[in-house]
Amino acid sequence: MGLKLNKNALSVLVFLAISVTAQCVTFDVSKLGGKPNSDITQVLAQAWQKACASPTSAKIVVPKSTYKVSRGNFLGPCKSPIEFQLDGILQAPSNPSGFKDGDGWITFQSINKLSVYGGGTFDGQGKASYGKHCTRLNYCSKLPINIRFNFVTNSAVKGITSLDSKQFHILVLGGENLSFKNVKVIAPEDSANTDGIHIGRSTNITITDSTIQTGDDCISVGDGTKKLTITKVTCGPGHGISVGSLGKYTNEAPVEGVTVSNCTFKNTQNGVRIKTWPDSHEGVASDLHFENLIMDNVGNPVLIDQEYCPWNQCKLQNPSRVKLSKVSFKNIKGTSSTPLAVKLVCSGGYPCKNVEVGGIDIKYNGKEGPIQSICKNVKPKVSGYMNPAACAH
């Protein structure tokens, strides 16, 4: 399936081309009193206030050095397009105290035509928190998210790195026409709940040419996500690219139109998966397509799991009430670290509809038995070569 630029995506590209080259009012934090290895929280806040109020395009520049930021809340709406050029390193406090549930360390909110770019790093300094604040029953919710984009529209993020976030690295909520390109996410494999990029309640989001190495989902897709395109992403270590989990909360909005293509997964716990809770609230997810993917030593390369129940805290006898339809897994090749390469486990109450699989060639060279696939409450349409054979177990 080829990628087609709609009018909204094209407008974002045009905005980027114009904003990066046009004359801007520039606010360089080093010229406003910000000193390397010092706290520039107030300097950044003042620079943002001036840039956001500018009647013409404005740019904030963080030059090549290391600066400390206790918290950055960059709020709009702004009068004109605004750029945030990060060439240096911004460091979060190593102590996570003082943050509430869902807080971001760096938050961009209610902004139209924002461009965040440069070769710099948002350093969450999360290593001291790993393994100390999270348990099976504690979601680490009071640990800050590295970068939040709340209600950001017609905008782009390019070339930045999120390092060692204490919780999610990047979270997008209520976004529209927002692109991520050449983004890097880096955290240890054992860092809990450090999803690389989480998308929720957002429309027309693109993620491309990016590398994500973390301890949870490389990319996770929450409810209300529509028209999400993920391409040329390298994932691993991590838990793969996931739609869900869905169905845990009431009034979740439908997920519609997710395409994951031309991505590579290396040593991940899963490849591409859709996960919904049993005994769930009602929900809908449709038009979910996964194609042209490479798996390198991946556990569960292809997975629908409507009995998702971490730590066995669920009532499995009550089926999921999330309806899945129009799902395809095509042209997926490589190696699995487990014998179960294709697992399609759908809801007993609402079986999956219009599922297609084809062109799958996955090998397993381990000692746990022959490679296999399983199907439950689904009758997929099969086309092309299949290894393992569809629903063979």
- Residue pair 360/343 in contact (Cβ under 8 Å)? The answer is no
Per-residue pLDDT band at 140 (split at 50, 70, 90)? confident
How many Cα atoms occupy the beta-carbon half-sphere of 190 within 13 Å? 7
Range in 68-77, 207-216, 305-314 the model is least confident about: 305-314
Q: Angle at CA 319, nearest 5°, toward 314 and 324?
A: 115
Query: Per-residue pLDDT for 172 more than 90?
Result: yes
Model pLDDT for residues 230-287, shown as the tens digit of each residue: 999 999 999 999 999 999 999 999 999 999 999 999 999 999 999 999 999 999 999 9
- Residue pair 146/120 in contact (Cβ under 8 Å)? The answer is no
Model pLDDT for residues 335-347, shown as the tens digit of each residue: 999 999 999 999 9
| pLDDT the model gives residue 19 | 45
Q: Angle at CA 264, nearest 5°, toward 259 and 265?
A: 105
Model pLDDT for residues 90-134, shown as the tens digit of each residue: 999 999 888 998 999 999 999 999 999 999 999 999 998 887 766
Which positions are annotated as active-site residues?
A: 239
Range in 82-91, 126-135, 146-155 the model is least confident about: 126-135
Q: Which own/partner contact pairs does 32-39 have at CB distance under 8 Å and 24+ positions apart?
A: 34/62, 34/67, 36/65, 36/66, 36/67, 37/65, 37/66, 37/67, 37/68, 38/67, 38/68, 39/67, 39/68, 39/69, 39/70
- Residue pair 199/176 in contact (Cβ under 8 Å)? The answer is no
CA distances from 274 to 29, 220, 290, 300, 331 (A): 44, 10, 11, 12, 18
Query: Per-residue pLDDT for 352 more than 50?
Result: yes
Range in 32-36, 95-99, 351-355 the model is least confident about: 95-99
pTM for the structure as a whole? 0.93
Structure-token match 């060439």, residue found: 87
Query: Per-residue pLDDT for 20 more than 50?
Result: no
- Cα(361)–Cα(349) distance, rounded to whole angstroms? 31
| pLDDT the model gives residue 133 | 64
- Residue pair 82/57 in contact (Cβ under 8 Å)? The answer is yes
Per-residue pLDDT band at 333 (split at 50, 70, 90)? very high
Per-residue pLDDT band at 14 (split at 50, 70, 90)? very low
Per-residue pLDDT band at 18 (split at 50, 70, 90)? very low
